[in-house]
Amino acid sequence: MDENIIVQCTNCGAKNRIPKARLNDAPRCGACHMPLNIMSFHDRPVVVADSSFKQEVLDYPGLVIVDFWAPWCAPCRMVAPALERLASEYAGALKVAKLNVDENPVTASSYGIRSIPSLLIFRNGKLVDTLIGAMPYEEIKSRIDYHGAFHSN
Ligand SMILES: [Zn+2]
């Protein structure tokens, strides 16, 4: 059985179901036939910084969850596997980003991050939800579903 992922077309916004094995074959959008931008496809958390936050999160056409974390934070380590799992399960429909608050104080303070982990959900560059603390996988997933991602399987 092929494993499929959902890739959203950056031209027309249509969501395309692509077998993972065919990701390298330059797939095209089924609706508008433009080449799909596989660069926008992520199945693992991506690291973002003060310098890349605008491009990676605010300018991203879709759903992004940003994990504000730090290496010394034990609850952050507890939430990390849930985020890795979500990144894989929602590949193409959700971008999971991680921002180290120690190294990126500008972004952390501009969102008023006072405790970590804080999970901020953005849709089309707009902050739509904030989850504070080490949420269990099911709870994060239900918030993601609520904000409009759908499962890739
Ligand atoms: Zn398209």
Q: What is the pLDDT of residues 103-119, one digit of tens each?
A: 999 999 999 999 999 99
Residue type, 144: I
Structural contact between residues 123 and 94, judged by C-beta atoms closer than 8 angstroms: no
The CA distance from 119 to 121, in Å, is 7
The CA distance from 153 to 150, in Å, is 9
What is the structure's pLDDT at 23?
A: 77
With a cut of 80, say whether residue 48 has pLDDT above it.
yes
CATH number of 42-146: 3.40.30.10
The residues assigned a catalytic role are 73, 76
What is the structure's pLDDT at 152?
A: 44
Domain boundaries, the chain: 1-41, 42-146
The CA distance from 22 to 51, in Å, is 33
Residue 15 Cα to ligand 1 midpoint, Å, equals 8
CATH number of 1-41: 2.30.30.380
Residue 131 Cα to ligand 1 midpoint, Å, equals 32
Read off the pLDDT band of 83 (50, 70, 90).
Answer: very high
Structural contact between residues 82 and 136, judged by C-beta atoms closer than 8 angstroms: yes
pTM equals 0.78
| pLDDT above 70 coverage of the chain, percent | 94
